[in-house]
Chains A and B, each alone.
Chain A
């Protein structure tokens, strides 16, 4: 453990890694500030650039964007009542109310401190949890990996928090896309329709930049956005009062623990964590009436929770290779592009990368605190950049991102197709994130399934012969079946309760 902390910090403190962390944190903060463009899109855009940096610095930059966005999202929530990303929606309730009372500086400072405290807590917890989980996962063979991907797909089908069947359909499309190109066992060409560029498979970068970046621009064009008003904030106003600090301490601690635990579960963890923390703080507060009117607890708790959830979501990613959020799905894609397979073997085979990413979390949290407090006014002004100038720039970055992966225009066409599909998906209520998860897990799933069948000499029972894979598959089955009857029961109970009320 000590070796882990020391070595992680030493690797992270190499100049190139520090620079990568800084650039990632700045991009992340800007992305968090800008409404619409999420961290997943920004990470997809930066992926080609990270390939030039090498695996360690590249992944540190991607991780920087991930947690930088969590910090940045709160700035616009407080100053302009526009959440930069969904996890910061709840911060608008009390953060913006504080800004209207002239306490914008204090709210921003508390949000930054809460993010720092929670970020640091989640890094320490991540260092404890991830190796434990990874060690137990070392016993994994192809059958266990197949079972794990099945479990992942079942659990992640609730990623969007909306229709489960729609998420599953999107995941299946992702799995279908992963079958394009050479098959992972026999190297037989599939679904390439004679196109040479498609023989290597569908470019992950082209699909993600299209689904998130291009689709975002197309969606922007169908909606009219309002002009934003910026609440003024001065540097000397950034200091919260002693009373405010005292009131924030406990919500920060509770939000950190709650957020980290929620982050371990699949779904929109950061958003759920922020709302849960807000609800919890409100329930236990002696000043319930102040909530919604500018209660500092309503800023400290949710901000701590959404940052801790970001750290928690890294546990299943680094130790099992399972992305539980759209952003970690893109991060997983980035790792695979760098030739790194996250999972139980990551710590053993590439300890430098594992510990450097963890170390970058420490460094990133310090950098973000330093960046966010004095430069908060500058970042907040970014929200005023006119979309008619920002969106064309985003489109060109998408083109370069898609083209740069394999240096061919075919990927740009794929990106455009994915962009149009992503736009239609949004309009018809389908989330793009599960598709990315399917695309990422597809190859692992197919390879492990076919390897298991070869090892078991065609016996289908080979998939659940080992106790570990049987337990995992059983869990997947329970997770797939239980929500349906539960929902039905809940509906029945609600209907009965309504009947009783009407009868009275």
Chain B
């Protein structure tokens, strides 16, 4: 990972820690005799911010060292980031779909889509997989373990 990415990720963590610490003040501290609900979160948040700050300094220091060494070339690795993003998008749609179409109908659709997204060819196998997964879930979780999976308007 490049130092720039390291700095950005640490800054995100630092901001997160600061936000957490700020929100902790909403809760009472009470007294040392009987510490309130904000004491532990404040302690943890404080340590977190200190650590993130330490990491930021480390990253900035290593960036400085990198700049001094002129021959440092960042190694670039081709990553296919768009496909995980599409998968996350279809997963969000899937969870929203569960609420009105029910678990079983939406699962067939999601397994079909995600399987195709991951490189499965044709439609027969992904569809068979979707139906197979549905049947397996129904048999194991609904029938055997008596877990009530979300029902929608259809099933």
Contacts and interface: CB of A to CB of B under 8 A. Distances in A.
A131 B130 CA distance: 49
Interface string B131-150: 00100010001000111111
Given A190-B37, A446-B40, A396 B111 contact: yes
Interface in A176-191: 176, 179, 183, 185-186, 188, 190-191
Given A221-B83, A388-B118, A165 B33 contact: no
Given A420-B88, A453-B34, A392 B110 contact: yes
Given A393-B111, A429-B1, A49 B80 contact: no
Contacts of A400: 137, 141, 147, 149
Given A388-B118, A400-B137, A403-B150, A169 B51 contact: yes
Contact of B51 (A172, A224, A403): A172
Interface in B45-71: 45, 47-48, 51-52, 54-55, 58
A457 interface: yes
Contacts of A378: none
A183 B36 CA distance: 9
A396 B149 CA distance: 12
Contacts of A466: none
Interface stretch (A197-205, A241-249, A277-285, A408-416): A408-416
A386 B40 contact: no
Contact of B84 (A176, A185, A218): A218
Given A222-B79, A413-B95, A453-B34, A391 B114 contact: yes
B87 interface: yes
B31 to A, nearest CB: 6
Contacts, number: 148
Contacts of A416: 88, 91-92, 95
A157 to B, nearest CB: 10
A450 B129 CA distance: 52
A261 B87 CA distance: 43
Majority SS at the chain B contact face: helix
A176 B41 CA distance: 7
B115 A388 contact: yes
Nearest to B86: A221
B20 A176 contact: yes
Interface residues of B, number: 63
Contacts of A145: none
A217 interface: yes
Interface string A406-435: 010100110010001001000111100000
B91 A392 contact: no
A450 B38 CA distance: 11
Contacts of B52: 169
Contacts of B84: 218, 221-222, 423
Interface string A367-399: 000000000000000000011110111011001
B55 A169 contact: yes
B5 A428 contact: yes
Contact of B40 (A179, A217, A222, A387): A179
B48 A396 contact: no
A220 B149 CA distance: 28
Interface of A: 48-49, 52, 165-166, 168-169, 172-173, 175-176, 179, 183, 185-186, 188, 190-191, 217-218, 220-222, 224, 386-389, 391-393, 395-396, 399-400, 403-404, 407, 409, 412-413, 416, 420, 423, 427-430, 445-446, 449-450, 453-454, 457-460
20 contacts: A52-B145, A165-B51, A172-B48, A176-B48, A183-B37, A183-B40, A185-B37, A188-B36, A190-B41, A218-B84, A221-B83, A221-B118, A393-B129, A404-B147, A409-B99, A409-B150, A416-B92, A428-B9, A430-B9, A445-B40
Nearest 10 pairs of A and B residues by beta carbon: A458-B32, A388-B118, A458-B33, A172-B48, A388-B120, A183-B37, A188-B37, A446-B40, A218-B84, A392-B114
